[in-house]
Structure 1
Amino acid sequence: MEQNVKSNKRTGWFWETKISNISLPLYLIMVVVLIVVMALGKLPTSMMGPIAVLVILGNLFHFIGNRLPIIKDYLGGGSVFAIFASAALATFGILPHEVVESTKNFVGGMGFLDFYIAALIAGSILGMNRDLLIKASVRFIPVALISMVASFFAVGLVGALIGNGFGNSVLYISMPAMAGGVGAGAVPLSSIYAHALHGDASQIISRLIPATAMTNVLAIIGAALVSRLGKSVPKLNGEGKMMAKGDLGDVETTEVKPDIQQLGVGLLVAITFFLLGQIGNYFVPKVHAYAFIIIFVFICKVGNLLPKYYENAATMFNQLIVKNLTAAVLAGIGIALLNLNVLANAFTWQFVVLCLTSVLTISLVAGFVGKLFGLYPIEAAIAAGFCNNSMGGTGNVAVLSASDRMGLIAFAQMGNRLGGALVLIISGFLIQLFS
């Protein structure tokens, strides 16, 4: 008699779900191990301890945030949830004090954020298609920059009219909204402000992140509404193409395949650009080192100064860091840099009005000016407008997903990086002017 052989493979949601490509049961065991180590007071204060906390908790919160209703669709998903959930653990004393302090030291004092940002900037710009970068500089970039300038002054003027002050409004609403997200935007912006004011970056970033998060939410909702409006006005709608003529909308960036040795080369390329940024900052202290990194990388890309092998290496290393450490960085921002008590005090009616002013102005101006430059107004409003008030890469994905325009991701990234670079460059001057 033939016996039926039962498979030992477990099936079902619990067994098949993965967090950071690790099965849920195994990941939960990792979380339990981390909790036990912290409860026993045996978590190392060296880099190993904070890395364990940030990677394990960051990926867990990012996973949860991407599956919670409303949050995943309108409030930034896992990225925002990872920041605020981690901040809550630190603010309400759920994490042991020594764990919070060692994490703060790792994120700030030991330069974990510097490492992440250097990889992000070098790889994202060098990974762009050079032809796209050059062609876009003729039409798309002017549209994006004009829209940002218009939004900057609109926020400042409205802020002055409602009693919030021109300088305070542009520094803590307009600038963080247009800086290109948290990791490459609000974080370096807080460092620039802290350096100029001789203050605490954690207090400053708690004033910057609310504007970044709120404008991101408004941009996602706005892009979805504009996309629906475009269906009833075909002349304004490119259906994902930036231009009616030419191949500006047809050029896409490519993703390189990982190579172990080349990843090491990419690390060295990113570090070298970081060091060049430090040299630039030495000679021109008022311009932040991050801004110099962007400038040097941009010059190398447009000038075709680096062989393709090294560009691919930087892009490859960027992909490695972004895919594996972004959630950890977001958790680090929440634990080390976000003060929820300061955050709660930011939500006033003036704050909401100014965030609305930023998003409405940048999108309307982008659509209007984009049409003058030969772009489809709907696409221009989304890629040069809403995306420049989103939370960087994850915000771009959310905005473009909501508007069904994922083909514009390269333009959105370019607008964030170049526009964000401009914000970082001038922020050092503005903080001294208005402080």
Structure 2
Amino acid sequence: MTTTLNEKPGYKIMGLSLPLFAIIAVVVLAGTYLGVLPTGMIGAFALMMVVGAIFNEIGTHLPIVKDYLGGGPIVIIFGSAALVTYGVFPESSVEIMNNFMKGEGFLDFYIAALITGSILGMNRELLIKAAVRYLPAIIGGVVVSLGLVGLVGAVIGYGAKEAILYIGVPIMGGGMGAGAVPLSKIFGSTLQKDPAEMLSIMVPAVALGNALAIVMAGVLDRVGKVRKDLSGNGELMIVQSSGNVVAEKEEPIQIDYKMMGVGLLMAVTFFIFGSILGKFIPSIHAYALMIISVAAVKALGLLPRKYEMAAFQWFQFVMSSLTGVLLVGIGVAYTNLQQVIDAFTLQYVLLVGVTVIGAILGSGFVGKLVGFYPIESSITAGLCMANMGGTGDVAVLSASDRMKLMPFAQISSRIGGAFMLILASTLLRLIS
């Protein structure tokens, strides 16, 4: 009689029965700690899928964490970061995952799929109507955020100017590479200080602001479940306006593996096109140019619907199967847990919290005025300005269960980040 691992009803992880997942985990972890984990994507995928699945299960079932702090995604990120910080992962495996995220570009690969598929899969009329209203929501979040942190900074003795320039602006500036690093150079040249010194002041604010943004994303998701009038359940725009209903209709989709391959090709081609445009328009980030090009193709109706749906199918596969991998990568390669811990002074945490809350309130209020649901507007135009760029966007949208809003999150991180660099230069001239 042949013995097989037949499926039986019961507890599952990643769709696998618990015994089968346990066997897979043992094999992968044994390879990791014996030092034979393959380099490149094979080893990275195997370890990151297993670790992501385990932490996701923990976060999904932890009281308080699952209801208020983002659940699985936040546990995956900070759990993975802790494994690196405290030396639980072998150094060789950390190097494999770091290289997979940065050297082999998995983050770009993931976000290319999300941007292309989520934009092309949207209702065309809805995309056009929502996009023209989005910038005011971003500005509302920035104005309230910087105003509030400046006021509180003055009241508690930190200094209004210092709170705005060294905490508020870096947090709202679009992350590290597109935010804190160029900001430190702008600040250094204007204030005649070493950019490295400026960066050391900004990094804890950016890291702690990113962590708090992820937590607040989970809180806002919970608030939206209680106050249903404030939430669009993942839809940004209130679709009933002036008697016109622009509904995001669910289209019946038959899985087509060949067309998913077409979707993959389209995602990476749009990413390359954004990079080409970036060579000629260096003042705008390639991600932003990619978003603009995909949105233009969508708005002008240049692609047949079957190719739009191919990109949408690929996006759905990547989002459903590889998000855990990406969140582990964020924890390992982009989250410095020690920086977050070192920043935990009461005064500093208060100012970071005020900055993030100001972003939520300002973007939510203005978003409501321009026809957005306040929760979705606060998450995308507020928290996705306050997090660490593309990596933070994924974490925030995962924690709030609103991954389909990635195009708007990327507008915040990229175009909004560029706006913050201009604003920072202006503020320095006015208040330095």
- TM-score, length basis structure 1: 0.77
Structure 2 equivalent of residue 31 of structure 1: 25
Q: Match for 2:257 among 260, 265, 279?
A: 260
**Stretch of structure 1 that moved more, 54-63 or 362-371:** 362-371
For residues 47 and 430 of structure 1, what CA distance do their matches in structure 2 show? 40
Question: Which residue number in structure 2 is paired with residue 283 of structure 1?
Answer: 280
Contact in 1 for aligned 2:113/2:264 (Cα 8 Å): yes
Greater Cα shift, 116-125 or 142-151: 142-151
Structure 1 equivalent of residue 344 of structure 2: 347
Tell me the equivalent position of 2:375.
382
Q: How does 1:126-141 map to 2 (within 5 A)?
A: 126-137=120-131, 140-141=133-134
Question: CA 1:155/1:364 → structure 2, altered by over 3 Å: closer, same or farther?
Answer: closer
Residue 167 of structure 1 aligns with which residue?
165
Aligned to 1:181: none
Partner of 1:326: 323
Q: CA deviation at 1:210?
A: 2.8
User: Which of 87, 108, 116 does residue 122 from structure 1 map onto?
Assistant: 116
- 1:184 counterpart residue number: none
- Residues 371 and 381 of structure 1: is their aligned pair in 2 closer, same or farther, counting only changes over 3 Å? closer
Tell whether the 8 Å contact from 2:145 to 2:354 is kept in structure 1 after alignment: no
The 1-side partners of 2:114 and 2:52 are apart by 18
Does the 8 A contact of 2:232 with 2:376 survive in 1? no
- Matching residue of 1:58: 52
Counterpart of 2:178, as a letter, is I
> Structure 1: 5+ residue runs without aligned partners?
1-7, 177-188, 401-405
Mean Cα deviation higher: 354-363 or 237-246: 237-246
Structure 1 counterpart of 2:283, which letter? Answer: K
Percentage of matched positions with identical amino acids: 35
TM-score of the two chains, using structure 2 as the length reference: 0.77
Deviating more after overlay: 167-176 vs 22-31 = 167-176
Q: Deviations over 1:389-433 (max 9, x none)?
A: 266467457658xxxxx9xx97x5564343334224435656888
Query: 2:368 touches 2:374 (CA, 8 Å); kept in 1?
Result: no
Task: Supply the distance in 2 between the matched residues of 1:104 and 1:194 (Cα, whole angstroms).
Answer: 21
SS in 2 for 1:305: coil
Which segment drifts farther, 301-310 or 317-326?
301-310
Q: Secondary structure in 1 aligned to 2:243?
A: coil
* Distance of aligned partners of 1:158 and 1:44 in 2 relative to their CA distance in 1, 3 Å threshold: farther
Matched to 2:36, the amino acid is K
1:154 aligned onto 2:147:
yes
In structure 2, the residue matched to 1:106 is 100
Structure 2 residue 88 is matched with structure 1 residue 91: no
Alignment partner of 2:122: what SS? coil
**Does structure 1 retain, via aligned residues, the 8 Å contact 2:39–2:96?**
yes
C-alpha spacing 1:224/1:366, structure 2 compared with 1 (3 Å): same
Q: Within 2, Cα distance between the matches of 1:281 and 1:238?
A: 34
Q: For 2:269 and 2:87, locate their aligned partners in 1 and report how far apart those are by CA, in whole Å.
A: 39
Relative distance call for 1:155 and 1:253 in structure 2 (3 A) is farther
Which residue matches 2:63?
69
How many residue pairs get aligned? The number is: 394
Q: How many Å separate the matches in 2 of 1:396 and 1:54?
A: 19
Residue 422 of structure 1 is matched in structure 2 by: 415
The answer to whether 1:190 aligns with 2:176 is: yes
What is the rounded CA distance, in whole Å, between the counterparts of 1:432 and 1:347 in structure 2? 28
Distance across 1 between alignment mates of 2:172 and 2:131? 23
Instruction: Measure how far apart 1:368 and its partner are.
Output: 4.6
CA separation of 1:46 and 1:252: change in aligned 2, threshold 3 A: same
- Partner letter of residue 38 of structure 1? T
